[in-house]
Structure 1
Amino acid sequence: MPNPLPPAGPQRTLSLAQLTNSVGDGAYYVTSALYFTHVVGLAPARIGFGLTVAWAVGSLAGVPLGRIADRRGPRGTAVLLALATGVAVASFLVVRDFAPFLAAACLYATAQSGLAAARQALLAGLVAREERTGALAHLQSTLNAGLAMGAALGGLALFAGTTAAYLAVFSVDAASFLLCALVLLRLPAVAVAPGDPSAELVVLRDRPYAVVALLNAVLLLRMPLLSIGLPLWITERTSAPEWLVSALFVLNTGAVMLFQVRTARSVDGIPTAARAIRRSGALMVLVCLVFAMSAADAPWVAVTALAGGSVLLVAAEMLHSAGSWQLSFDLAPAGRVGEYQGFFGTGVTVARTLGPLLLTALLVGRGTAGWLLLGGTFLAASYALGPAARWAAGTRQEPAPAAVARDVRATAAKVPDRQGRGR
């Protein structure tokens, strides 16, 4: 099994930063809904509306914030956005009405979207091109480990059920982003990459890349499938016990922690990325077929089908993740990685915003037919991504990966290495 730790140096420091704030995120995810209803005092419908608006704003802000990271430097931008996220979380501690809640949520979503883009640009500046997918695999494993620890912490607050417990969890979340900022400061500064210095958002006119990002957003519907679609399916359409929802989440998280790095090893360029995504699409068809079988009356058949489908789902998820990471970086022009990563990352927001409505209509509303339609959609999008990526690659001239790696190392050699110095 591959070493669970990333290589020493920038990759390990990036993983530590990921771990610190993902612990806070895990606690936030499991407690936020009840915190906003029980402590802030908002109705569920208003919470849902506010968060939808906030993430819509955040998705729009991700691209210009990514461009700022390209022009001003990704490390400083990432540090500031981590601090802004911490401030947003801390403000949740004192808001008690909808208007300030909406303002805090918009700041939170905007800072989170920008932070994701800035960190991708930071990784691109510190890690050689051929090592980026492997580095992202380590980061994804670290993310899942942090989310699991944070979810356990949030579970303690849910068990206690007191206002003090909820406030403590949100305080820990805010502090985690402060700690993340301090860890990011330990990284060497990244010189602004050569390229067009204008503030114009070129990615908005890059049709081939937009098509790739759109198809990837379709494949990202697997995210609300695990968190929304499958729990509703289990409770509404199967005879399986409800506790199975939690067990399947643990299965997914643990498998990604253990096997994402190994899965990413097979992806090292656009052709292998397209192949991994096609395999992911084919697996998603099987996932949908097996999940559809769980509607059987016998509980043991339902549990077996759901467990088997979940194993196939996590395999498809890891293949898609590795392939999409490779495409998102390889197709981004030099000097605009943050801008392009900000645009590519909007697919996550689209999937999380529209996915629950779509999956509820398909799975709960149409049953087996909905599963078949969903599987066909995944398959079509996965097979279309290969030609779209080749189209995008043919519209730009990028330096050879070896030359890029040399430039990265030369830049890093000119910057004082601050690794190991505590702050």
Structure 2
Amino acid sequence: MAPARSKTRLFRLGSWVEARRVAAILRQETIGGALLLGAALLGVIWANTPWSDGYDALRDQVVGPAALHLDLSVGAWAADGLLAIFFFVAGLELKREFVAGDLRDPRRAAVPVAAAAGGVAVPALLYLLIAGGAGGGAARGWAVPTATDIAFALAVLAVVGRHLPSALRTFMLTLAVVDDLIAIVIIAVFYTAGLDVLPLLGAAVPLAVFALLVQRGIRSWWLLLPLAAATWVLVHESGVHATVAGVLLAFTVPVGRDGDGLAGRFEHRFRPISAGVAVPVFAFLTAGVTVGGLDGLADALTDPVALGVVTALVVGKAVGITAATWLVARFTRASLDEGLGWADVVGLGLLGGIGFTVSLLIGELAFGHGTARAEQVTVAVLAGSVGAALLATVVLRLRDHAHRRLRAAQARDEDHDGVPDAYLPDAG
């Protein structure tokens, strides 16, 4: 009689190298998430003081050469320029995950990719059900609640889920990165007002030279930085959102077999800039909207668009991520790994509702910078992200207690080489 096939398990323990790498990223993003939250709060507070005119003047100050069509406001520089660094780091992380990470195995990749897709589709549909018929172009905001903020979400996970299994952390990291990749495709396809083909084709030249140099292992900044800047300028000139350039550049960087290589060096160098400077500055310059006290907040959140955004972030993300994961389990006849429960997945789904950075960006692209509806969307994104974070904190804190004893047992089993026995090839 043929031996019984072992049942496929979701969120199985990955490699020790991957676990250490994810843990290092979580430590960095904890700091970045704190800076992001602090910068956003500073922007909101300043915009609601008697000195709010100074905030508006700073954000709307135009700088840059007009001859190159780069005479942009400071706020636009943050959205188009600084977030290109953010997406460059996200692109590096995504490539490393699928080239050298545990997710190079299609069976492992299927779960977070499906969850990310569900976490995009369900919030978009829920938003359209609530706000699609509101008129005034409200339907253009369907993509606002589809993105997960990596820094904010991972910061919450690092604080409240310190004892969660490494596989869940890897799942959340990859889900957020894939989510951002889907978001940048949405931005490029649906929020490009007009396309100028010649600059877009021209961007392929510095991009190709950049790719040739990095593939040969060249990392001299005085060669690569001008090429990256030229690629960004030409993509910006084409009408495609300039953050796309960051992803394209990241995808050309080679990844070593051990997950390091030039991609690892670039990620190590640019992640602190992204998490510590680019994203907080963007949050500061975008989150500053005049709320008008509790009455103003209530008025803003009763608007169909704002209500759609909040509901989609808090409910839609959790439902989409959890349902997609369940469907993968259902149709592959897989089960959760030992010690895990669907409450873990629900907690991560709620965490996915933190849609801060990219949601704010899409809100501006959908409704225009400084418009009343864009400000309502900003308030809704802030409220929805905070609500999702609080609910995720409650669920994941409860699950964290459940996993604490398992982590303690693994620590007792740690060998002299510093690798827990559970990660060894012959374990289990």
TM-score normalised according to structure 1 size: 0.29
TM-score normalised according to structure 2 size: 0.28
